[in-house]
Structure 1
C-alpha cells in the first residue's frame, strides 16, 4: 500500500512539524476506558511521591505550596476528574490518592510506607496493592519497574505517568491508544527478531561514532499503552515504543549530561567502561567514571528503544522518547523489560536505577543520529536517518491499512 494512504498524523507535513498535529481535548474517561477496558467493577487509586509525604499529602497540603507540578497535575487531571463524574462513567469505584516517599532515582524500588489524604500511614503491600484493581502512578521519578514487579505479585493493572506536564496532557495522553498499539505493532514486526543494530552518530567536529548492539534474533517488544482484560500489567504512558534488551554491545556513542557536558562513552561487552570529555566540565566526566569504577553494573546497557508516535516535544523524556525518528539506550535494571539485570546485582540500592539516554534533535543538538541500521539474517534495513523514520519504516506503517 502506498504511504500516501497513511493517516494525516503520519504525513510529511506533520512528521516535520509534529507541533501542528491536531489533538482532541484531554479526557480521562476516554483515556482510562481505552487503556484499561473493561473498567466496570474495578477499583482505582492514584499514587504520587514527595520527599515529605506524610506532611504534604494530608488534606492536600501541597496544593498551597509552590512547586510540585506533577503532583498538582495528578490532583487536577485525575483525582478531581474521577471524583467529579469519571468514576461513574467508567463504572469504577475508589479514586483515593496516596503518597509515598520520593525515590530520587528512576525505577528504584518503592518503600512500603504510604500515606492517605487524612494523614494515616499505610502499607503498599498490605493496604494498596491487594485492594485496588487499577493503580495510576503520577510521580517525579518513574516507578514502572517496581510496579511491574508488584503487579505480577498482587494481580493489579496500572499506568505510570512520571513527569507529566501540560504538553503531555494535551497530546500524548489524548491520542487513541488502539491506533498507537496498531502502529507500534507494525514497527515491531518490521524489526522483530533482529540480529543486530548499528547506530552512527555524527558529531559537530566531523567525527562519526558507531555503536553496535547484539540482539540475538530476540522477539521485539512494544510499549503500546493498552492493559486490557484482567492480566496484570503496567503501561508506561505516554506509550509508543518498540524495544529490545541487548545481549551484547560495543563501540562508542555520545552522551549529553544534565549540566550540558558532552562526552564519548566507550562500550565493551555490553558495559560502558569509560567516558571521555568532548566539551564542558571535566569534573562531570570524572564523576561518571568514578561511578563506573565503583559499581560497574551502572554502565550495563539494558535497553534499546525506538519511538513510534508523532508527538510534539514535551521536554519530558517519558513522551519525547516515544517520538518517531528518535531512539534511546538505557543503563541499569531491565527486569521489567524481561531482561536479566535485577536490583540485587548493584553494589548499592540507590544505584539500581533504569536510566534512559535519549537521542533526539531537541535533546542532543550537538550531535545527530546519522543512521540506524538493522540486520536480520541476510536482510539489512535502514531504520532512521537524520532523526527521520526510513522508507522501510514508513512502508511498514502503511501496511495492512484499509
Structure 2
C-alpha cells in the first residue's frame, strides 16, 4: 500500500523555528560558498566591488574610510568580501580582478547612479566606459539599493552581479549564510501557489479596532521570484538576501496604514493603483502634510509598483533588504518598477530624485502599531488565505511541503 504520510518539512520550517526564527542555526558566512552558489560558473569571471560614499574620492583613496568613523556597510564589504577575495577566494572560484570602486551616494532607493566613479588610487573613472563593459560580475555593497539601475545596466553591458545594500552582521550571519539552492526551491513552491492570481486582498487591523482593506489587482499575471540564483552567463542582478515572490500590480484600491520614518502613523487612500491622500492617525501632522504635498506635486510617487511576499525563515535584521524576505510578511512598493518588468520608468517622474522604488514593509517589528490580520488570494474560483496575523497559512505550508 502506498504511504499517505505528508512530506517532511525541513527543520527551518518547523513550528518552533517559525515562531522563533532567531533560534535557527546557520553555517558561518563563507564568501566562496555564497558566490559559487549564486553565480555558478565563476571560472574566468572578472569581479569587482562597488561601494558608495558621500565624498568618494577622499574616502576610497588608499582605503581611507577604514580609519574613519562610520561606514559600517563599507567596512563589512572590505572585511567579508574584498579581503577574502584577495586572500584566496578568487583563486578557489577561478576568478580574476577583485578591484574596488566608489561612487557617490544616490540618497534614494534605486535611483540611477551618477557615472563618476573612483578607484583606490583616487583616479576618476566612468562606470559606463571603465567598469560595466570590463567586468563579468559586479557586487554592489551600498547604503541605498541599486538593484533597478544595475539591472538596466547589466542588460546594456552584459554583466551579472548582486546588490547587497544595508549589509550588517545579522545579514552576514543569516541571510547570506543560507543555501540559496534551498531558497530558490522554496521560492518556486510559493510562486506556483500564487501565480496567475486575479487579486490579493489585505486586511490591516489598527489599534483602535478599525480594519483597513487594500485590494491589489494582478490580472492573472505570472508571479515572479527573487531567489538569489544568477546562474549561467545571462545578464542579471541578484538582490541579496533573496527570497520573495512578487507581482507588479495592475490595479490597487482601498486603504492601508503607513508608518513613516519619524514614527508618524497615517492611513493611505489608494485608487486606480495610486496613493492620492494620507491622513494622520498619530504623530506629526507636518509629516502627513509633506507627503500629501509630494503626491500633489508628482503623482507618480504614489503609484504602487510592487506587491511582494517573503519566503524565508530569518531573524530580524532591522534592514528591510532581509526583513522583507521573511515568511509571513508582505510589502508594497511605490515608484519605478522597470527592474521588475513593470511600466513605471524613471523619466515618468517630475524630478530625478523622485524616481525611487521604496518598499513599505509590513512586519511585526517594523509596524507594531497595526496587525497584518489576513491576506487572501483570489484565483478564479479558488479563494485561499495566505497569511493570518503575520503567520503563513496552512495553504502556504502545504505548498512548501510539496
TM range (shorter): over 0.9
Q: Residue 60 of structure 1: CA displacement? A: 0.4
Aligned to 2:54: 51
- Unaligned segments of structure 2, at least 5 residues: none
Q: Residue 4 of structure 1: CA displacement? A: 6.5
Q: How many residues align?
A: 399
Aligned to 1:36: 39
Q: Kindly report which structure 2 residues correspond to 1:195-344, keeping only aligned pairs within 5 A, or say none.
A: 195-344=198-347
SS at match of 1:218: coil
Q: Residue 21 of structure 1: CA displacement? A: 0.1
Distance in 2 (CA, whole Å) between partners of 1:235 and 1:82 is: 19
Distance in 1 (CA, whole Å) between partners of 2:207 and 2:228 is: 36
Aligned to 1:381: 384
- Of residues 110, 113, 138, the one that matches 2:141 is 138
Aligned to 1:82: 85
Distance in 2 (CA, whole Å) between partners of 1:226 and 1:93 is: 21
Aligned to 2:130: 127
1:195-242 Cα shifts (integer Å, max 9, x gaps): 000000000000000000000000000000000000000000000000
Distance in 2 (CA, whole Å) between partners of 1:314 and 1:368 is: 20
**Structure 1 pair 3–103 and aligned structure 2 pair: CA distance change class (3 A):** farther
Distance in 1 (CA, whole Å) between partners of 2:261 and 2:23 is: 29
Distance in 1 (CA, whole Å) between partners of 2:51 and 2:14 is: 37
Aligned to 2:153: 150
Q: Following TM superposition, where does structure 1 have runs of at least 4 consecutive aligned residues deviating by more than 4 angstroms?
A: 1-4
Q: Residue 357 of structure 1: CA displacement? A: 0.1
Aligned to 1:22: 25
2:11 is aligned with 1:8: yes
SS at match of 2:125: strand
Aligned to 1:357: 360
RMSD between superposed Cα atoms in Å: 0.7
Aligned to 1:170: 173
Distance in 2 (CA, whole Å) between partners of 1:281 and 1:50 is: 31
1:89-112 Cα shifts (integer Å, max 9, x gaps): 100000000000110000000000
1:301-325 Cα shifts (integer Å, max 9, x gaps): 0000000000000000000000000
| TM-score normalised by L of structure 1 | 0.99
- Unaligned segments of structure 1, at least 5 residues: none
8 Å Cα contact 1:2/1:395 also seen in 2? no
1:45-94 Cα shifts (integer Å, max 9, x gaps): 00010010011000001111110011111101100010011000100000
8 Å Cα contact 1:147/1:234 also seen in 2? yes
2:182 is aligned with 1:191: no
SS at match of 2:133: coil
Distance in 2 (CA, whole Å) between partners of 1:81 and 1:130 is: 24
2:401 is aligned with 1:394: no
8 Å Cα contact 1:2/1:398 also seen in 2? no
SS at match of 1:380: strand
8 Å Cα contact 1:31/1:174 also seen in 2? yes
Q: Residue 2 of structure 1: CA displacement? A: 5.8
| TM-score normalised by L of structure 2 | 0.99
Q: Residue 175 of structure 1: CA displacement? A: 0.3
Distance in 1 (CA, whole Å) between partners of 2:239 and 2:374 is: 27
Aligned to 1:371: 374
8 Å Cα contact 1:160/1:237 also seen in 2? yes
Distance in 1 (CA, whole Å) between partners of 2:99 and 2:6 is: 46
Aligned to 1:91: 94
1:269-296 Cα shifts (integer Å, max 9, x gaps): 0000000000000000000000000000
